[in-house]
Amino acid sequence: MPSRRFTPPGPLKGRLRVPGDKSISHRALMFAGLAVGTSRITGLLEGEDVLATAAAMRAFGARIERRNDGVWEVDGAGAGSLLQPRGALEMGNSGTSTRLLMGLVASYDISVVFTGDASLSRRPMDRVIEPLRMMGASFEASPGGTLPLMLRGAAPAVPISYTLPVASAQVKSAVLLAGLNTPGITSVIEPVATRDHTERMLAGFGAPIETDDAAGVRIISLRGEADLSPCDVTVPGDPSSAAFFIVAALIVPGSDLVIENVGLNPTRAGLIAVLREMGGRIEEIDAREVGGEPVADLRVSHSALTGIEIDPALAPSMIDEFPVLFVAAAMAEGTTRTSGLEELRVKESDRLATMAQALKLAGAKVTEREDGLTIIGTGGEPLSGTPAGASVETRLDHRIAMAMAIAGLASKDGVAIDDTAPIATSFPTFADLLERAAAST
């Protein structure tokens, strides 16, 4: 367990690039792994979660190699031709790998055992088991619908029309991926829009998929048993990783930082809107499109932030950014109130409880409610930091570790993190980039 204290640096300056988007990287490997022919992926996130997806796709018969120039080359197994893996699939910390792959294999005549680390083994899988059972797959899960679990796929599976009971892109994607090898039309009805990378990228790989937006409800329909054509994918920088540097530059005095190539898909960009409303100076430069996704460079400078009431309707478009938003709130003038965030309790950790405890230990004023946190900010005064000998518990959650590292930059005595190892699941270069930004004054 590598523990570490993050202390106040000088201002963050210069330019940096965060690694590729995690959600897009998973999907690129999965769809390229199904296509017949060679796809090339540029800018793939080489974090542990995405590598778990790569290992699983190899076990299903795809050839996946990293070239010396950093481009990943994938020869797909062919839609309809996934192989029975020889052993259990070890998913590590990755909920996205697990839930999307459960969908992907649910319409094949194979049995797959999924296992994961202690954090993943606590997370609910019923949300994907339920619709996949309706399609014909069967499951033997651990108590509470958790990993380890065994899935027995159904071929042919039955197409369904499924209304999402929770706003979850993972559940939406699992059903659509099961639909790929299912005869007929599989559709998902989405009362609240969630990230749409699956829909965008499946269309790029030639799948017959359509989205209909009527009266605020999205209906996504996919015709199954179609071949996927190989596609070259360029993965934009991950806005969820950029979030840590955006907040860092806003709260560390004197900072003026450019973060290049940040994905700004509207279903992911809620944090930027919220931080601007709080008074954050975030400028978009050179807005463009990369790999079918909107992208820009962001110039972020130190700003006086003001607490606000955050509209719960924004939650799906910033669902992974709340830990670091709570840090920004702890440095703002006045009160920030969040609500409608029950989903945060079933992420890599219970992010409401873990962040409330972590921020309090670092000297912030936080009240935890069932569906959100209320935070009274310091108005820019540094937090006291964690007391000598005490450290923040990250509970196998990469985003808690990084959010609290950023809190350390805006504290008097620094914030000690009990375990930085989980950061490698999504952002292996986090600490190096932070040091570089602090050094380039």
The catalytic residue positions are 320
Among residues 25, 168, 221, 261, the one that binds ligand S3P under rule CB under 6 A:
168
Least Å distance between CB 62 and ligand S3P? 19
Least Å distance between CB 320 and ligand S3P? 5
Q: Is 217 helix (H, G, I), strand (E, B) or coil?
A: strand
Q: Is 228 helix (H, G, I), strand (E, B) or coil?
A: coil
Task: Say if strands 415-417 and 4-6 run parallel, antiparallel, or are unpaired.
Answer: antiparallel
Asked if 421 and 400 count as a contact pair (C-beta separation under 8 A), the reply is no
Residue number with CB closer to ligand S3P (89 or 438)? 89
Distance of alpha carbon 417 from alpha carbon 55, whole angstroms? 30
Asked if 116 and 147 count as a contact pair (C-beta separation under 8 A), the reply is yes
Tell me: does residue 169 bind ligand S3P (CB under 6 A): yes
Tell me: does residue 338 bind ligand S3P (CB under 6 A): no
Among residues 25, 98, 119, 170, the one that binds ligand S3P under rule CB under 6 A:
170
Site string for ligand S3P, 47-86 (x = CB under 6 A): ----------------------------------------
Among residues 320, 321, 418, 419, the one that binds ligand S3P under rule CB under 6 A:
320
Least Å distance between CB 144 and ligand S3P? 17
How many residues of this chain bind ligand S3P (CB under 6 A)?
10
Residue number with CB closer to ligand S3P (4 or 195)? 195
Strands of 89-90's sheet, edge to edge?
Answer: 89-90, 111-115, 146-152, 138-142
Residue appearing with tokens 């990084």: 402
Least Å distance between CB 386 and ligand S3P? 27
Residue number with CB closer to ligand S3P (6 or 322)? 322
Residue number with CB closer to ligand S3P (149 or 409)? 149
Distance of alpha carbon 50 from alpha carbon 137, whole angstroms? 25
Distance of alpha carbon 221 from alpha carbon 320, whole angstroms? 26
Distance of alpha carbon 436 from alpha carbon 55, whole angstroms? 32
Among residues 173, 186, 394, 411, the one that binds ligand S3P under rule CB under 6 A:
173
Residue number with CB closer to ligand S3P (195 or 302)? 195
| Options 168-176, 213-221, 259-267, 414-422: segment touching ligand S3P (CB under 6 A) | 168-176
Q: Can you read off the two tokens belonging to residue 193?
A: 């829009």
Smallest CA-to-CA distance from 88 within 46, 55, 132 is with 55
Smallest CA-to-CA distance from 59 within 99, 103, 113 is with 113
Smallest CA-to-CA distance from 80 within 15, 41, 139, 36 is with 36
Give the containing element (helix H, strand E) for 197. helix 197-204
| Options 166-174, 249-257, 330-338, 408-416: segment touching ligand S3P (CB under 6 A) | 166-174
Query: Integer distance in angstroms from the first to the last C-alpha of the chain?
Result: 32
Tell me: does residue 319 bind ligand S3P (CB under 6 A): yes
Least Å distance between CB 7 and ligand S3P? 29
Distance of alpha carbon 80 from alpha carbon 78, whole angstroms? 6
Tell me: does residue 238 bind ligand S3P (CB under 6 A): no
Least Å distance between CB 341 and ligand S3P? 11
Tell me: does residue 425 bind ligand S3P (CB under 6 A): no
Site string for ligand S3P, 185-204 (x = CB under 6 A): ----------x---------
Distance of alpha carbon 106 from alpha carbon 126, whole angstroms? 14
Tell me: does residue 119 bind ligand S3P (CB under 6 A): no
Looking at residues 79 to 108 of the shown chain, list those that interact with ligand S3P (rule: CB under 6 A). 96
Tell me: does residue 241 bind ligand S3P (CB under 6 A): no
Q: How far is CA 191 from the centre of its chain?
A: 20
Residue appearing with tokens 């991926």: 177
Least Å distance between CB 100 and ligand S3P? 7
| Options 81-89, 163-171, 175-183, 258-266: segment touching ligand S3P (CB under 6 A) | 163-171
Residue number with CB closer to ligand S3P (303 or 426)? 426
| Options 148-156, 169-177, 218-226, 360-368: segment touching ligand S3P (CB under 6 A) | 169-177
Nearby residues of 45 by Cβ (< 8 Å), 6 or more positions away: 19, 20, 21, 22, 25, 235, 238, 426
Site string for ligand S3P, 261-300 (x = CB under 6 A): ----------------------------------------
Strands of 63-66's sheet, edge to edge?
Answer: 63-66, 72-75, 38-42, 233-234
Smallest CA-to-CA distance from 26 within 82, 81, 101, 138 is with 101
Q: Is 51 helix (H, G, I), strand (E, B) or coil?
A: helix
Which residues lie near ligand S3P (CB under 6 A)?
23, 96, 168-170, 173, 195, 319-320, 343
